[in-house]
Amino acid sequence: MRRHNKERMALINKKNGKKIAGKHKRCKTALSKAVGLMFHRPIDDYALVFEFKKPQRPAMHNLFVFFPIDIICLDRKMTVLETKQEFRAFSIYYRPEKKCSYIIECPAGTVKKADIQKGDVIVEN
């Protein structure tokens, strides 16, 4: 069976070289985006990258996600537009202020640990 969402290389903050995640998985299909991290256990050093064909402001929830996460919103050039830290488990609603081409969901504390700021560029390494 062909896997559409293969695990990929590390995600790095290009500005300071700090690692965001050792591995990540791209979510391109409607199903993979809908499921996201629901019903998963926390995985250190791992992230999901939601990819959108057109920039948008998706409404997000953390229902059935049993741990807090950080959210990083990016434009099409992988430049950080905004972050949401410590999005609590079972939170009902978050919507980015700006339209995003990518959204990264990663373990809580990642934004602080990798010193991610608006305008930083995220790269695969």
pLDDT in tens, 89-115: 888 889 999 999 999 999 999 999 999
56 contact partners, CB below 8 Å, separation of at least 6: 99, 100
Report the candidate in 28, 21, 25, 30 with the shortest Cα–Cα distance to residue 8.
25
Give per-residue pLDDT as tens, 26-79.
Answer: 988 887 887 777 667 778 889 999 999 999 999 988 887 878 999 999 999 999
**How confident is the prediction for the chain on average, in pLDDT?**
89
Predicted confidence band at 3 (pLDDT cuts at 50, 70, 90)?
very low
Identity of the residue numbered 51: E
- Its pTM stands at 0.88
Query: How far are the Cα atoms of 41, 93, 98 from residue 46, in angstroms, in the given order?
Result: 11, 23, 25
Q: Is 55 exposed, middle or buried (0-12, 13-18, 19+ CB in 10 A)?
A: middle
Domains in the chain, CATH or no CATH each: 7-124 (2.60.120.1140)
pLDDT at 6: 58
Q: How far is CA 68 from the centre of its chain?
A: 13
pLDDT at 28 (0 to 100): 85
Residue 2 pLDDT > 60, yes or no? no
DSSP code, position 56: E
